[in-house]
Amino acid sequence: MAEPHAVVVGSGIGGLTAALALHRKGWAVTICERAPVTDPLDLALAIAPNALRGLDALDVGTAVRKQSARHGVAALRRKDGRWIVRTGPAEAEERFGDSVRVLRYADLKDILLEQLPDEALRTATTVTSVEPGDTRQLARVRTESGELNADLVAVADGVRSTVRPALFLEHPGAVYAGFTCWHTIVPWPSEYPLECGESWGAGGVAGVLPLIDDTVYCYATANVPAGGTAKDEKRELAQRLHDWHSPLPELFASARPESVLRSDIWHVDTPLPAYHKGRVALLGDAAHAMTPNLGQGAAQAIEDGVVLAQHVNGSMAYVPTALQSYTDARLPRTAALVQRSAQLAEAVQSDSSFVNGLRDTAASIAGRVAPGLLGRYVRPIDDWRPPG
Ligand SMILES: Cc1cc2nc3c(=O)[nH]c(=O)nc-3n(C[C@H](O)[C@H](O)[C@H](O)COP(=O)(O)OP(=O)(O)OC[C@H]3O[C@@H](n4cnc5c(N)ncnc54)[C@H](O)[C@@H]3O)c2cc1C
């Protein structure tokens, strides 16, 4: 019998994880990626313990640990540098069995891609429409360079998905979360002792995550209208961060201007009615884009890919039925995380000094007096284990 065939739309972390999970279960996989090359952007990602377990299930966890730096789950400061909460990697390892790992986005993609057959990825291949199929009819994927039939289509085309609105006409789509995020990777300045952490100010945060190769991933957020750009993003950032604690202004000042990127934050704040239709499954940001505050967007995309492959491991005729169980397994958890992340975003992006005072005090009490509270906040997220 011919091996089952899956078409994956998009080669972000969600698409590549789903492709690898399906490949491990014996599927032939075709990944359609609209970009001509896989990933030119120099970004970094924090990979939480739950996502690491998903990557372990695909036998790539060791490679990820090797190429990443260890961090704790919470290290928060005020804008003036005073600590609110400080937990290290050892505490995370004790509580969750693993620390948070930070690595370059491109390295994570390479680790996943290396495990897939060369012919699996088709770059410069934009998917223009998807017919979902049913128990009797295969799904059909149209691209600019031809059509593909599939037993399963895994749609991971990101927060601005074009497949999602075509499948769920009534859904309002992704909305702007009200803030933008600048990010860059800079050389590690040997004159500063660097600690990983996020600093909370009025109307934004700024964070520092050292990587393993003597470089540091830095980011900062601000409440601005969607779609804005500055002539010089580095200068814009310098103005916004000039009175934040050291070494934040110095780190951003050391960035190459062209390396400072700006991403408006969009999220799917109204849950979809389902994460499937016919033989099509949605995953990652296409299904449940969330604000980056919990550091769980890519983590949930990884969980999705692992769970999807587990559910469609039976008869090909019953893929649509299996996808109902995929929706049941993924929708409640991810929809709750979208909401939780949005609530956290609202608190950390607040411009009100009264709200900020309450927020910092609550986080500080949770961290110092009752560290168990902090554990209880992140445990249901970080404790996830792959099925089976
Ligand atoms: C500033 C910022 C920081 C973040 N930090 C973290 C973090 O530390 N930890 C974490 O877990 N998450 C983090 N996230 C979230 C995380 O980056 C995303 O959730 C994750 O990368 C989504 O992956 P994805 O594969 O679903 O979508 P994407 O990465 O958006 O990939 C979609 C892919 O589909 C392709 N595509 C789109 N349309 C088509 C089409 N029609 N045909 C073919 N291909 C198409 C695109 O070119 C792209 O390659 C962060 C997000 C932001 C914005």
Question: Residue 66's pLDDT is what?
Answer: 96
Please name the residue whose Cα sits nearest to atom 27 of ligand 1. Answer: 158
Nearest atom in ligand 1 to 38's CA? 49
Residue 3 is predicted with a pLDDT of 87
State pLDDT tens for residues 15-29.
Answer: 999 999 999 999 999
- Residue 213 has a pLDDT of 86
Give the pLDDT score at 369.
Answer: 61
Any residues with CB less than 8 A from the CB of 131 and at least 6 apart, and which?
Answer: 139, 140, 141, 142
Which CATH entry fits the domain spanning 5-79+87-171+273-346: 3.90.1150.10, 3.40.47.10, 3.50.50.60, 1.10.3720.10? Answer: 3.50.50.60
235-259 residues labelled b (16+ CB within 10 A) or e (exposed): ebbeebbeebbebbbebbeebeeee
How far lies 36's CA from each of 126, 175, 287, in Å?
10, 27, 24
What residue ranges of the chain have pLDDT lower than 50?
A: none
State the distance from the centre of ligand 1 to the C-alpha of 283, rounded, in angstroms: 11
Contact 73, 87 (CB under 8 A): yes
Estimate to the nearest angstrom the gap between the alpha carbon of 177 and the chain centroid. Answer: 16
Residue 193 alpha carbon to ligand 1 centre in Å: 32
Using alpha carbons, select from 243, 234, 246, 196 the residue that is nearest to residue 92.
196
The DSSP secondary-structure symbol of 119 reads: G
Give me the pLDDT at residue 1, please: 57
Residue 334 · residue 300 · CB < 8 Å: yes
Report the residue among 16, 17, 20, 34 best suited for mutation to probe ligand 1: largest number of ligand atoms under 8 A from its CB. 34
pLDDT at 220: 97
pLDDT at 374: 60
pLDDT at 86: 78
Nearest CA to ligand 1 atom 15: 297
Q: In whole angstroms, how far apart are CA 159 and each of 11, 266, 289, 322, 330?
A: 13, 7, 6, 24, 17
Per DSSP bridges, beta strands 121-122 and 28-32 are: parallel
Residues 218, 221, 225: CA angle, nearest 5 degrees: 145
Length of the chain in terms of residues written: 388
- pTM value is 0.95
CA 157 to ligand 1 center in whole angstroms: 8
| pLDDT given for residue 83 in this prediction | 85
What are φ and ψ of residue 43, in 5° steps? -120, 170
The confidence score (pLDDT) of residue 273 equals 98
Quick one: pLDDT at residue 75?
80
Instruction: Check residue 377 and give its pLDDT.
Output: 64
Q: Which ligand 1 atom minimizes the distance to the CA of 290?
A: 19
Distance of alpha carbon 132 from alpha carbon 84, whole angstroms: 49
What pLDDT is attached to residue 137? 96
Which neighbouring-strand residues pair with 200?
78, 205
> Which protein residues touch ligand 1 with a CB less than 6 Å away?
9-15, 32-35, 45-46, 126-127, 156-158, 162, 181, 183, 263, 265, 284-286, 292, 295-299, 301
Nearest alpha-carbon partner for 249 in 208, 309, 215: 208
